[in-house]
């Protein structure tokens, strides 16, 4: 069960421009003024009085209406905050009276529909079973964003129950939100469960978005939608008030259009969380932008783990080879190959099933039993609810993932032994082993294949990805845009040891500055044959 798997040429650019020119929903005048503008520039415009939090919030709400709900119908946003404009207006007043809280003051952010918000929004994991549920307290993530002065613009769609509902891939589909679509080609998968957050960031529906990852659910959709996704070390960002799946693997991170913007948002999220014991030993920084260096590749030692993480997509391999050559020219020492010794073991590791089944059941039961409202109180009741509402909940997606978790029963000792095995193979004998052996700063590999077509009947195709080692280890990874093939985005992943976010951000930023590989979405319809 997977919870939470050629640079565009002139023709592609011209096709995208034609779509922009012809589409009334695109609002080109507003796009020219605000589209793709980064956090630092938005903050400068606000400081100069050229825009306000209220006008920026209204701009994004208009984009959501025209691009997400109408126009191409991306369905990335599951719900907008009915109080967003009022919150923005209040923050404008605060700016005039007391000054700004920080770089996110007045900037609209979307969060995945897994985070409690003590307001008029729902928290549902995309399930109709939790419609109407009203948490009493903000999640840690929501509270920290509010404290930083961000406007909570709304919540993003996802693979229902973070992808844990079904054993097949139905990325970006939920009963409540429908099917999220890739903004580069609308018949293509948005990839994995933080798909709504990645699509929203790519399509300029927010300044940045928040995603979660158990195994690939930040980095994979970031790559598929040509944005930056940061999957932090487990324990860097508190998960209090979040619907979790596999707590030993779950992490929370930003998805943004640039590495700098992702670094700004990450600094607002980190810290010790009394509701999340994993953060007790957190090694966090409140300003990750200070690690960004356009020359950060110079002198770096970067390994290329070819076994398992190359070879499943010629297109992804080709783009990654060019990326590696770019790093070499920028002054990095490339160690190739630098294989993870346990790579093949990790792909077929049976202890992962034990850990997921044990943790998912307890995490779901804990959340459902403690959340106010009329809804299923445990996993068994949720499964029964889905059967009773199969026309909506099980129209496309089966719940064989939930049923498997409910049926499997492992003891505490079996679970502890399985978790120790996962950590040993992915950490000391895995990522850390190859880093030590070659004295590496990080590993680099394709994030995944170009996004395949959406298939609600059979499930999306899945060729491979690089997310598993960091997932099992609880280690950080960053996906950054690397190029395009047939108009479809491909990203590369920088992966490192625990708490190495500063190093990974430095490398990702330098690569980004050397390539500028990201392109704005084209919103093209699918074509027969590819």
Q: Please check the confidence at residue 2 and state whether its pLDDT lies above 70.
A: no
Identified catalytic residue from 189, 217, 352, 479: 217
Q: Which domains are assigned to the chain?
A: 10-513 (3.90.1300.10)
Q: Please check the confidence at residue 490 and state whether its pLDDT lies above 50.
A: yes
CA distance 359 to 405: 9
Average model confidence (pLDDT) across the chain: 93
Identified catalytic residue from 193, 352, 466, 467: 193
> Which of residues 6 and 4 earns the better pLDDT score?
4
Q: Please check the confidence at residue 26 and state whether its pLDDT lies above 90.
A: no
Give yes or no: 66 in active site: no
Task: Summarize pLDDT for 183-199 with one digit per residue, the tens.
Answer: 999 999 999 999 999 99
What's the pLDDT score for residue 1? 37
Sign (positive or negative) of CA dihedral 14, 15, 19, 20: negative
What's the pLDDT score for residue 33? 61
Identified catalytic residue from 112, 185, 231, 361: 112
CA distance 368 to 243: 9
What's the pLDDT score for residue 132? 82
Task: Summarize pLDDT for 285-341 with one digit per residue, the tens.
Answer: 999 999 999 999 999 999 999 999 999 999 999 999 999 999 999 999 999 999 999
Q: Please check the confidence at residue 124 and state whether its pLDDT lies above 50.
A: yes
Q: Please check the confidence at residue 525 and state whether its pLDDT lies above 60.
A: yes
Cβ atoms 24, 78 nearer than 8 A? no
What's the pLDDT score for residue 527? 58
Give yes or no: 112 in active site: yes
Task: Summarize pLDDT for 422-462 with one digit per residue, the tens.
Answer: 999 999 999 999 999 999 999 999 999 999 999 999 998 88
CA distance 414 to 364: 20
Q: Please check the confidence at residue 154 and state whether its pLDDT lies above 50.
A: yes
Structure tokens at 179: 């099917």
What's the pLDDT score for residue 461? 87
Cβ atoms 284, 61 nearer than 8 A? no
Q: For residue 315, which of 69, 150, 107, 487 has the smallest C-alpha distance? A: 487
Q: What's the pLDDT band for 36 if we cut at 50, 70, 90?
A: confident
Q: Is 516 left (phi over 0), alpha (psi -120 to 50) or beta?
A: left
**In 48-125, where does DSSP find H-type helix?**
53-63, 84-97
Q: What's the pLDDT band for 169 if we cut at 50, 70, 90?
A: confident
Q: Please check the confidence at residue 218 and state whether its pLDDT lies above 70.
A: yes
CA distance 301 to 488: 29
Give yes or no: 52 in active site: no
What value does the mean pLDDT take over residues 143-167? 97
What's the pLDDT score for residue 15? 32
């Amino acid at each position: 069960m997977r919870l939470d798997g050629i640079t565009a040429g002139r023709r592609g650019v011209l096709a995208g421009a034609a779509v922009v020119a012809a589409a009334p929903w695109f609002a080109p005048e507003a796009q020219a003024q605000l589209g793709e503008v980064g956090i630092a520039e938005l903050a400068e415009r606000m400081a100069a009085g050229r825009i306000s939090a209220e006008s920026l919030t209204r701009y994004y709400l208009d984009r959501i209406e025209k691009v997400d709900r109408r126009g191409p119908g991306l369905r990335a946003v599951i719900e907008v905050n009915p109080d967003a404009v009022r919150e923005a207006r209040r923050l404008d007043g605060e700016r005039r009276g007391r000054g700004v809280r920080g770089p996110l003051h007045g900037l609209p952010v979307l969060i995945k529909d897994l985070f409690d918000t003590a307001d008029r929004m729902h928290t549902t994991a995309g399930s109709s079973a939790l419609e109407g549920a009203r948490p009493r307290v903000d999640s840690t993530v929501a509270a920290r964003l509010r404290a930083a002065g961000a406007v909570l613009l709304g919540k993003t769609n996802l693979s229902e129950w973070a992808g844990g509902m079904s054993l097949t891939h139905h990325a970006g589909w939920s009963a409540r939100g429908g099917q999220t679509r890739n903004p580069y080609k609308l018949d293509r998968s948005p990839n994995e469960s933080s798909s709504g957050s990645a699509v929203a960031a790519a399509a300029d529906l927010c300044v940045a978005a928040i995603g979660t990852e158990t195994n690939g659910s930040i980095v994979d959709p970031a790559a598929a939608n040509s944005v930056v996704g940061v999957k932090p070390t487990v324990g860097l960002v508190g998960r209090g008030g979040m619907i979790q799946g596999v707590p030993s693997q779950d992490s929370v991170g930003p998805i943004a259009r640039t590495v700098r913007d992702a670094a700004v948002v990450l600094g607002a999220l980190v810290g010790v969380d009394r509701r999340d014991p994993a953060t007790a030993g957190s090694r966090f920084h409140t300003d990750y932008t200070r690690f960004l260096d356009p020359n950060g590749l110079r002198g770096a030692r970067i390994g290329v783990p070819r076994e398992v993480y190359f070879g499943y997509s010629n297109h992804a391999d080709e783009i990654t080879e060019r990326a590696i050559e770019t790093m070499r020219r920028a002054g990095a020492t490339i160690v190739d190959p630098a294989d993870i010794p346990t790579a093949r073991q990790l792909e077929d590791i049976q202890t992962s099933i034990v850990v997921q089944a044990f943790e998912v059941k307890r995490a779901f039961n804990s959340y459902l039993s403690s959340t106010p409202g009329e809804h299923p109180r445990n996993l068994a009741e949720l499964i029964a609810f889905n059967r009773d509402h199969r026309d909506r909940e099980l129209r496309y997606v089966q719940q064989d993932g939930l049923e498997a978790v409910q049926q499997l029963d492992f003891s505490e000792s079996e679970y502890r032994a399985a978790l120790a095995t996962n950590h040993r193979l992915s950490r000391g004998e895995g990522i850390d082993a190859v880093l030590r052996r070659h004295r590496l700063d990080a590993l680099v590999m394709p994030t995944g294949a170009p996004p395949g077509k959406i298939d609600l009947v059979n499930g999306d195709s899945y060729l491979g990805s690089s997310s598993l080692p960091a997932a099992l280890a609880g280690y950080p990874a960053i996906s950054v845009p690397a190029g395009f093939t047939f108009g479809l985005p491909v990203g590369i992943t920088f992966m490192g040891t625990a708490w190495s976010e500063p190093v990974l951000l430095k490398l990702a930023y330098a690569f980004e500055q050397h390539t500028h590989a990201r392109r704005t979405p084209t919103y093209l319809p699918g074509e027969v044959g590819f």
